[in-house]
Chains A and B, each alone.
Chain A
Amino acid sequence: MLNVLWDGGSNFPGIAQFGKAFIELATNGDLWRHSIASLFRVTLGFYLAILLAVPLGLFLGRRQGWRKWMDPVVQFLRPISPLAWTPFAMAWFGIGDAPALFIIFLAAFFPILISTTEAAASIHPMYFLVASNLQLTSWESLCKIIVPATAPNILLALRVSLGVAWLVVVAAEMIAVKSGLGYLIIDSRNALRLDYVMVAMTTIGMIGLALDHTIARLGRLEAVRWRLERK
């Protein structure tokens, strides 16, 4: 049994071969190059999604009239897999980083938007009565009430959507680009190098773990602790 694991079989690489491939890809720089390319796309697409989804979510959350109209639109678009957009992404953005970014953006956008909207809509109305009583300006209400009140939920949404973004980056890279861990998988498969495929998969897992760990640390910030400690 151990022997089989070590040597591998016809349809999976053994540990020995995997280790060799790992060292090979790590030393010739391919692994780093592809990892950095993937991380770059995820980061950019993710930031783009935050930049648009958080303000839009806060706006919709606080404007019931708009929310009523936008909610069906959002719920209609949301179940469409980001990957289903690939033909359009390529038609609109051509070849290169842009279509991949677009797909990552789509994947991260909806979870952030929905959580932010929900969080902003469910802020206790009493806080706004206090705000109107103390005559806070709209800007102060935004900074002192809306943003801090929704921060814990937004952070949770970021954690979920970063995972999703990392999930689709691989798929996005299987089209239209010549770098990234997704490309490494497709390229190695075409070359029948299952050991390389496995190295890429392992790397994806490890980076995903590291990303989640990083973002989970944000949950310990003082600005959001009140939510967890509340009675």
Chain B
Amino acid sequence: MSENKILIDNVTVEYRNGGSPRKPWSLFGKGRNCGSAGDDVRTVLHDINIEIKTGEFVSVLGHSGCGKSTLLKVIAGFVRPTRGAVLIDGKEVTKPQPDHVFVFQEGSLFPWLTIRENISLALRSVKDPREKEEKAAYYLELVGLENSHSQYPYMLSGGMRQRAEIARAIAAQPDILLMDEPFSALDYLTRLNLREEMLYLHVMLPKTTILFVTHDIDEALQLCNRLIIMSDPPSQVKCCRTIKAPHPRNLTDIELSDLRSHIYYHLGVHTAV
């Protein structure tokens, strides 16, 4: 058995954005507007190769629009790569799986369900209703929402909603968490709090492999074991760094601040350092 949990093997993703959608009346015009050779093909990801081990916490950094989210969606099975493949435990990903859970930036809780009902959706495999209730309560407590179980998402603050989303994701007992800028819609202080909680979850769930897309370099430095920096599209892995510093980390450490300058350099930012 290989130690690699996720193997991203020569993944290329191309989007076609030249052809306008076929009009309903162009019955016979199949080839006219869709997918013909003259199309504008945009390569988002170009030959990406990454190996990720079980239990790793990997941050993906890069400019807006560089395909970080697309990469995550390919791993989640939401998007099929144009070429190449993603292998998880040696098996090719062809469709979404309940053990590879995606956490969205915001608003993926179902607004018409209470927080508890939202979390129960991830507990579908639990048949006994009492056990289900207990499990839901457990995950709510884990993220500090035990008093908000019967509230609707709109009644909660942004930070609490994001906690609930994370609770729903881990309630599905995933072996891979795919987090797409999960804290970027939150205010600074809430983000710091959730960063701490994320670390706690990482320690609690050592078998869970986490991929964490972010724009926040400090967030990445504080949380992850490995950093992946992506170039602008057609994106490739620009640089890959392992962070060995133990948790909790002090960001003013010489190793981390060096690394930060290094990241800024790779992202083409020269004034912020």
- Point out residues on A near B: beta carbons under 8 Å: 68-69, 71-72, 124, 126-127, 129-130, 132-136, 144-145, 148-149, 151, 223-227, 229-231
Q: How far is the CA of A69 from the CA of B24 in the complex (A)?
A: 7
Whether B112 contacts A148 by the Cβ 8 Å rule is yes
Which one, A124, A134, A223, contacts B121 given CB within 8 A? A134
Complex: chain A residue closest to B117, CB-CB: A144
Which chain B residues border A224 with CB–CB below 8 Å? 112
Complex: chain A residue closest to B23, CB-CB: A68
Which chain B residues border A126 with CB–CB below 8 Å? 104, 107-108
Q: How far is the CA of A151 from the CA of B110 in the complex (A)?
A: 13
* Contacts between the two chains (Cβ within 8 Å), count: 65
B55 within 8 A of A: no
Which chain A residues border B101 with CB–CB below 8 Å? 133-134
Which chain A residues border B78 with CB–CB below 8 Å? 129, 132
User: Which positions 88-102 of chain B face chain A at CB distance < 8 Å?
Assistant: 95-98, 100-102
Whether B102 contacts A133 by the Cβ 8 Å rule is yes
Q: Which applies to chain A's interface (DSSP): helix, strand, loop or mixed?
A: helix
Which chain A residues border B172 with CB–CB below 8 Å? 134
Whether B76 contacts A133 by the Cβ 8 Å rule is yes
Whether B110 contacts A145 by the Cβ 8 Å rule is yes
Q: How far is the CA of A215 from the CA of B50 in the complex (A)?
A: 57
Complex: chain A residue closest to B100, CB-CB: A133
B154 within 8 A of A: yes
Convert B156-189 into 0s and 1s, putting 1 for each residue whose CB lies closer than 8 angstroms to a CB of A: 0000000000000000100000000000000000
Between A and B, 12 residue pairs with Cβ closer than 8 Å are A129-B104, A130-B102, A130-B108, A132-B95, A133-B102, A135-B98, A136-B121, A144-B121, A148-B110, A226-B112, A226-B153, A227-B111
Which one, A129, A132, A134, A226, contacts B111 given CB within 8 A? A226
Complex: chain B residue closest to A137, CB-CB: B124
Q: How far is the CA of A162 from the CA of B97 in the complex (A)?
A: 44
Which one, B108, B122, B152, B155, contacts A127 given CB within 8 A? B108
Known: A72-B24, A230-B154, A231-B154. A149 touches B112 (CB 8 A): yes
B113 within 8 A of A: yes
Known: A226-B154, A229-B154. A135 touches B112 (CB 8 A): no
Whether A226 contacts B102 by the Cβ 8 Å rule is no
Convert B96-137 into 0s and 1s, putting 1 for each residue whose CB lies closer than 8 angstroms to a CB of A: 111011101001101111000000011010000000000000
Q: How far is the CA of A68 from the CA of B27 in the complex (A)?
A: 11
Which one, B76, B112, B154, contacts A223 given CB within 8 A? B112
